[in-house]
Structure 1
C-alpha cells in the first residue's frame, strides 16, 4: 500500500482484508497512532479508547481469517458523533449541563454499523446541544480545522469533519438539521450526504434532522449508506425499506450529460457570498456544463422572513429546554446559547406560530423552485470558516443562523443534498459544492457527486499537521 494505513478508504480496506494483504488489527493500530499524535492539536474525539477498539479489531480479524466477515465494512474503523447514542456510553450533547449517564441502547446508525462489524474507534465532538456551526463546547475541548488550526471545522458535526480530513480512519457518522453535515464537510474538504428525511432511521426523530456519512470519497459514503439506511422500528418517520443499489453510485462523467441542473448563487437571505466561494462554484458549474449538463441560473427562493422564523422557533424551543433545567445546570450552558435562547422570552404565541409557519413556507418554496430540475448546485456556505473560538460566523447570538441559507431549505423540504469539494481559497482552504436532488433520490445525488469527482481539478494533499 502506497498510502498510510490510516488514510486507506473503506473500499480499499475491504479489498485488502479479503485478499489477506492487511489485517484489521494493523490498520486499527495505525489509526490509533494517528489519533494519539494529532488529538493534542485537533481535539476532534471524545471517548477515544484504543484498547477497546483493538478488541473489536481482533474479533474482526478472526472473522476474516475464518472466511465469515459480517459484510464489506467488517473491520473498518469508524467514529460516531456524540449525539448518536452508543450503548453503555454517556451522551453529553456537547454541554457540561447534563449528567454523564450511560445510555441503554445504540442509536439506529450505531446499531447498524456495529452489526456490520465496523470498529468503533471514538465518539466525535460537537458544540453545546448541537446548535452551533463550530466546535465550541463547554464539555469537549475546542475542535479545530486540520487545514488551518486557527479556523473552525464547522458544526455541529465538528469532530467528525475534522476527523475525516485528518485521517482518523475512513468512516464518520454525523447529523444535520440545518447544515451540520454539509458545513463541516465543506470547510474540511470532505464528502457528505445529508439523505432524504427518514432514509437513515433515528431513535429521536425531529423535523429536518438527519444522520449521514462523512467520508473522503463518494464511494465510502455509498458503502456506509448500504449499512445505515436499514429499517429500525424506533423511528416513526422512517422511509420504507429502500430497494436501492447503493453501489450503483459508481458512474462516469457521462452521467451528467442531458441533466437539467439549477445553479443557485444567491440564497436570498443571510450573509453575502464570499467572492472566492463564488468563483469556485461557478468554475464547478462550467465543468458540469462542459460535461453535457444543461445548467440554468436560478432566482433565490428563500427569504429573510423564512430564515428568521426558523431561528425564532428554535430559540423558543431551546428556551423551554433551558427553563426546565435546575439553575445550577443552566449556568453551565455556553453563554452564547443561553443568550440566543433567552432572546425569545418576549415572543408572543402569535409570533411563535408565525415563526413555525416558516418551516412550511420554506418547504413549499424549496420544492416549487427545484421541481423543474434534476439537481440543484450551489455553495454550501456563503463564508469561509470562522475563527475556531467563534460560536458562529457572525459570533453574534442574534445573528446566529445567517450562514445556513443555502443548506437549511433541504432539511425542511426533506430532499437529499451533498457537499463535495470543488476548489480552494487563496489561503488553501477547501470550498464545498452543494448538490441537491429530488426527494428520495439519494442515489442520484451520490451519482452526480461521483461524476463531479471525476471532472473536478486535482485535489490538494490532505493536511498532515506535522
Structure 2
C-alpha cells in the first residue's frame, strides 16, 4: 500500500509492517506518526465519536521514547512505536477509567491491566481510549458518559458494540491496532459492522488480572484492519502474566499466514446450530461466499451444524443477568440512578435467579463446552455468520421488533464465550447499501493460529475489504 503524503492521511492506512519498515529505514519516526494521527483524530473523530479520551502529552512522550529507540537501533519489539487505542474497560496506569459510566470518579488507575502492560513493554504508543457502552453491556456503543458511536460506513447506523469505538477508530484510519474485549461478541460484532478484524482469543490465551468473575466469557483481544496486524498484536498480548491463575504458559506464536489451508477440514454452518428469529438473505449470501474462498486456498469444506444439548440462550441469559446485577451492586447505592437504564433493567430481571437455577446454567455451559469439543474432534474450523443483519439504525439498542434485554435475535457469538473457544470476525463483503458484513471463524481451544490462517485466506480473496468508509474521506 502506498502511504499518501497529505497531512493526516500520510499514515492513516499504514499497517504495522509498513510503519516499522519506515522507522527502521529512517523514512519517518514514531513521533511524526503520532502527531499525524492525533491531528486526524481532531479532524475526523467528531463524525463518529470513537475516541473519547486523549492525553496528547503522554502519547507524544511515548512516541519520543520510541523514536530514540529506533534511532539507536534498539526497538523493544515488532510493535515499538506502533499506535494503538485502548477500550475504556482496560485500566491504563495514570489514566482514569470510567467504563462508559457516570458513577465512576476521575481517580487515575494505579497499574496497567496485563494486556495494556504487554503493549507498554513492547513500546506501543497509546493514542487514546475508545468508547464503550457502560460495562460493555450492549451490542451497540452508546453510554451515559459518551453518547453513541456511529458507523463510519453510514453515520446513521450503529458501529456495533461493545468495542464499537475501537472498530470505528480503525475504520477511520486512526492507528492500525486497537485493544478491545469480548464477553458475548463485543470484538466480533463491531468488527463485522465496521469492516475490520476482531479476534476473541480462547479463554486463558490473553492474561487478565484481576480475573473476571464472569469466567470464561470475558476476554481481551486485538482488533486491526488486517489479519497480519491482529496476529502480531495477539503475539504480544499473550505473553506471560504471573498473576493470572488461568493464563496459558505458552504465548501465541504468529503463524505463517500465507501457508494456505491444504489438509484442513472446515465445516460451514449458516446458523451455527442456533435458533435464528432474524434472517437477512443478503447477509446469508455474503457469509456463504466464504466457502469457495476457503476451498480455493486448499481446504475441504463440508456443511455441518453443531448440535447443542441445550439452547445456548438459556444459560447465557442467566449469566448475563447475574453479571449486570453484580455490576449494579458494585455501584454505591446513591449513584445507581446514574447507571445505564439497560443495566438496571437486566439486573432487575436477575431477581428470580436462585442458586439452583444458576447451578443449572453452569451445568448447561459445561454441556455446551463438551458438545463444542466433540464437534472439533471432527473439524479443524467452523465458519458461519457473526450477525444476522448488517448495522441497523443508530438510536436503538436492538433491531426493531425485539426487546432491549433480549439476546435471542443475535445468537451466533455468545455460545463461543461460554465454551471458551477462540473465534474471530473477518470482512467478507458489502451489502448493496454499502454496509460491511463479516464472517465468523471458530477454532478448537489453542488453535488461534489455524483460525488466523483461514481468516487470511478469506481476506486475500475478498477484494473489497479495504474499501475506505465515507466518513473517513
TM > 0.5 between the two? Answer: yes
1:331 equivalent in alignment to 2:337: yes
Check if 1:212 corresponds to 2:221.
yes
Are the aligned partners of 1:173 and 1:213 in contact in 2 as well (CA < 8 Å)?
yes
C-alpha separation in 2, matches of 1:422 and 1:137: 29
CA–CA distance in structure 2, aligned partners of residues 52 and 337 of structure 1: 33
| C-alpha separation in 1, matches of 2:187 and 2:352 | 32
Q: Does 1:318 align with 2:324?
A: yes
Matches within 5 A, 1:203-352: 203-206=209-212, 207=215, 208-242=217-251, 244-246=252-254, 248-252=255-259, 255-267=260-272, 268-302=274-308, 305-352=311-358
Structure 1: distance between partners of 2:309 and 2:166: 31
Q: What secondary structure sits across from 1:342 in the alignment? A: helix
**Which range moves more in the overlay, 194-203 or 308-317?**
308-317
TM-score by length of 2: 0.93
Q: CA deviation at 1:404?
A: 4.2
1:61-210 map, 5 Å: 61-206=67-212, 207=215, 208-210=217-219
- Which whole-Å CA distance do the structure 2 matches of 1:301 and 1:2 have between them? 47
Q: State the 1:199 CA deviation.
A: 0.8
Name the Cα RMSD after superposition: 1.9
Counterpart residue number, 2:438: 432
Which whole-Å CA distance do the structure 2 matches of 1:249 and 1:97 have between them?
Answer: 46
2:423 equivalent in structure 1 = 417
Partner SS for 1:150: strand
Q: Secondary structure at the match of 1:64?
A: helix
Return closer, same or farther for 1:326/1:279 CA change in 2, 3 Å cut-off.
Answer: same
**Residues in 1 aligned to 2:269 and 2:32: alpha-carbon distance in whole angstroms:** 46
Q: Does the residue aligned with 1:29 lie in a helix, a strand or coil?
A: helix
Residue among 356, 360, 366 paired with 2:366: 360
Deviations 1:136-164 (A, max 9, x none): 10112311111111111111111111111
Q: Offset of 1:198 from its aligned partner?
A: 0.8
CA distance in 1, matches of 2:275, 2:211: 27
Structure 1 runs of 4+ with >6 Å offset: none
2-structure distance, mates of 1:181, 1:312:
21
Spell out, residue by residue over 1:413-444, the C-alpha distance to the aligned partner (whole angstroms, 9 max, x if none): 22211111011111111110111111101111
Aligned length: 462
Cα deviation, residue 300, structure 1: 4.5
- For residues 247-289 of structure 1, give each alpha carbon's deviation from its aligned partner in whole angstroms, at most 9, with x where no partner exists: x33314xx22332110111142354232111001112212222
Measured in 2, the distance between the counterparts of 1:184 and 1:302 equals 26
| Secondary structure, aligned partner of 1:67 | coil
User: Cα distance, 1:399 vs. partner?
Assistant: 4.4
Q: Give structure 1 stretches of 5+ with no counterpart.
A: none
Candidates 51, 57, 60, aligned match of 1:51: 57
Q: Secondary structure at the match of 1:35?
A: helix
1:355 offset after TM fit, Å?
2.9
| In structure 2, distance between residues paired with 1:195 and 1:320 | 24
Structure 1 position 2 matched with structure 2 position 8: no
Kindly indicate whether residue 453 of structure 2 is the aligned counterpart of residue 447 of structure 1: yes
Distance 1:60 1:103 in 2: 23
Partners of 2:57 and 2:174 lie apart in 1 by 16
Cα separation, 1, equivalents of 2:90 and 2:465? 31
Q: Secondary structure at the match of 1:371?
A: helix
Q: Is the 8 A contact 2:81 2:124 kept in 1?
A: yes
SS of residue in 2 equivalent to 1:6: coil
Give the secondary-structure state (helix, strand or coil) at the position aligned to 2:152: coil
After TM superposition, give the deviation of residue 304 of structure 1 in Å. Answer: 7.0
Report the counterpart of residue 373 of structure 1 in structure 2. 379
CA apart distance, 1:395: 7.9
The alpha-carbon deviation at position 177 of structure 1 amounts to 1.3
**TM-score for the superposition, normalised by structure 1:** 0.94
Distance 2:147 2:256 in 1: 37
Aligned in 2, Cα 1:400/1:204: closer, same or farther, shift over 3 Å? farther
Uncovered stretches (5+) of structure 2, i.e. residues with no partner: 5-9
Check the 8 A contact 2:310/2:368 in 1, yes or no.
no
